[in-house]
Amino acid sequence: MRRSLQLFPVLIAITLALMLACGACKAKPEPVAEKPAPTSSLTIFALQHIRSSGFEAVVLKDFADKNNTALKVVVFPDLVSLLDSLSVSDSLANADIVLGLDSAFALSDSILKPFAPLPEISLIEVSLDIPRDPGQRLIPYATANLSFICDTRKYPDPPKSFGELQDARYYNQMGLCDPSTSGLGRSSLLWTVALFGERGYDQLWNSFRKNVRHLYRDHGEALNALRRGDCGLIIGYNSVPAWISEFHPSESHIQAVIPQEGSFRHTECAALCAGAPNHTTALLFLRHLISAEAQQFVMFKLAMLPVNGRTPLPRGFSRLPWSVYSVNSRLDRYEANQNLPLWLESWNRLIKTLPGL
């Protein structure tokens, strides 16, 4: 009996040691499997909003992960600097895809020269009302109709026409984008030319120049300024209230009005650089970009409408009118190419000479 009592502490010590040893074994982390080396590469030149909106982090990264692709994204502040980079032979040789081209800048034939036709990309799922590039060098991935985006706390009765937009109650409250560098800005200018012609568009801008408060880099920057209360209205996308309702429901005072005169369709596109070093991977990416899976993030991140008609729509977006009267067809492509420098010069003279701009 005495011998058993003497052995008892020893048994307890052995048991505790075994328990601690087992615990240590269990706590040992599993070895992390090494990520396989990339089997393909892709270089994308994109505009800043592709990154700042989060579109890059979900759509581009998802493609890279699924296809084991080494992805390089080079970001530019505006389309002018991006296109200028393509005139440098080294840059063009390294770029596969350009992301962020838009329908307004693409009216200029010279801008399309660095890009290759893409007959192998099927656009059968792209809605028929989305404008197409006859040479299929542009692949549309996001679209919206231009409208007046207003803070209805400041303006419970927002402007319903360009005539009302000239009213003095909007003095120093309008946010715009520069048509020299911004696709949205250029679409805004072309919108007024399509509506009022060469004789009327500059008179219109002259009449509401007093209401212009600030120029913004792109739609995202202008919308953020409106949400902060830095301005009372902007020219932007009619899909904004749907995006607000999904992600910022407390900001339901941000509303869109399509003016009585009609809207203007603004579309963002991707393009394949001629001689792209990673041609096959680039084609895979473009197909991914217009797939219904990727198109959901056009709404969630870019606050625009998907071009793929099979994309599931959240409630807010499903309530938007899919067909809106737009005046794009009033613009003659040849006339726009010939006269755009004069239109930009007139706009710069009227707007960019304002104090503070």
**For residue 206, what are the CA distances in angstroms to 16, 65, 158?**
87, 51, 21
Beta-carbon contacts of residue 84 (< 8 Å; ≥ 6 apart): none
pLDDT value of residue 322? 72
Q: Does 22 map to a domain?
A: no
pLDDT value of residue 321? 83
pLDDT tens digits, residue range 145-162?
999 999 999 999 999 999
- Which one-letter amino acid corresponds to residue 214? H
Do 191 and 329 belong together in one domain? Answer: yes
What does DSSP assign to residue 32?
P
pLDDT value of residue 17? 53
* Domain count of the fold of the chain: 2
Beta-carbon contacts of residue 115 (< 8 Å; ≥ 6 apart): 98, 137, 138, 271, 272, 273, 274
Do 171 and 240 belong together in one domain? Answer: yes
pLDDT value of residue 16? 52
Q: Does 152 map to a domain?
A: yes
Q: Which domain holds residue 250?
A: 144-264+324-352
Do 202 and 249 belong together in one domain? Answer: yes
Binning pLDDT at 50, 70 and 90, where does residue 6 land?
low
Q: Does 274 map to a domain?
A: yes
Do 342 and 207 belong together in one domain? Answer: yes
CB 266 within 8 Å of CB 144? yes
Q: Where are the beta strands (DSSP E) in 159-264?
A: 174-177, 212-216, 233-237, 254-257
Q: Does 12 map to a domain?
A: no
Three-class DSSP category at 100: strand
Report the predicted TM-score, pTM, of the whole model to 2 decimal places: 0.88
Q: Does 2 map to a domain?
A: no
Do 107 and 224 belong together in one domain? Answer: no
Alpha-carbon distance of 342 to 340, in angstroms, equals 5
Alpha-carbon distance of 125 to 311, in angstroms, equals 10
Q: Does 78 map to a domain?
A: yes
CATH number at residue 295: 3.40.190.10
pLDDT value of residue 38? 86
pLDDT value of residue 109? 83
Do 181 and 229 belong together in one domain? Answer: yes
pLDDT tens digits, residue range 188-215?
999 999 999 988 999 999 999 999 999 9
Binning pLDDT at 50, 70 and 90, where does residue 357 land?
confident
Q: In terms of pLDDT, which residue wins out, 132 or 144? A: 144
pLDDT value of residue 36? 79
Do 208 and 343 belong together in one domain? Answer: yes
Pairing of strands 40-47, 69-76: parallel
pLDDT value of residue 1? 46
Pairing of strands 97-102, 254-257: unpaired
* Residue 19: pLDDT over 80: no
Q: Does 35 map to a domain?
A: no
* Exposure on the CB side of residue 284, measured as CA atoms within 13 A: 16
Do 242 and 148 belong together in one domain? Answer: yes
pLDDT tens digits, residue range 222-249?
999 999 999 999 999 999 999 999 999 9
Do 156 and 227 belong together in one domain? Answer: yes
Do 151 and 76 belong together in one domain? Answer: no
* Residue 47: pLDDT over 50: yes
Q: How many CB atoms lie within 10 A of CB 242?
A: 23
* Residue 96: pLDDT over 80: yes
C-alpha of 279 from chain center: 24
**Among candidates 218, 219, 205, which has minimal Cα distance to 149?**
219
Do 122 and 176 belong together in one domain? Answer: no
pLDDT tens digits, residue range 298-355?
999 999 999 999 999 999 999 998 779 999 999 999 999 999 999 999 999 999 999 8
Mean pLDDT of the chain: 91
Q: What angle do CA 356, 157, 314 make, to 5 degrees?
A: 95
Q: Does 167 map to a domain?
A: yes
pLDDT value of residue 318? 94
Do 99 and 196 belong together in one domain? Answer: no
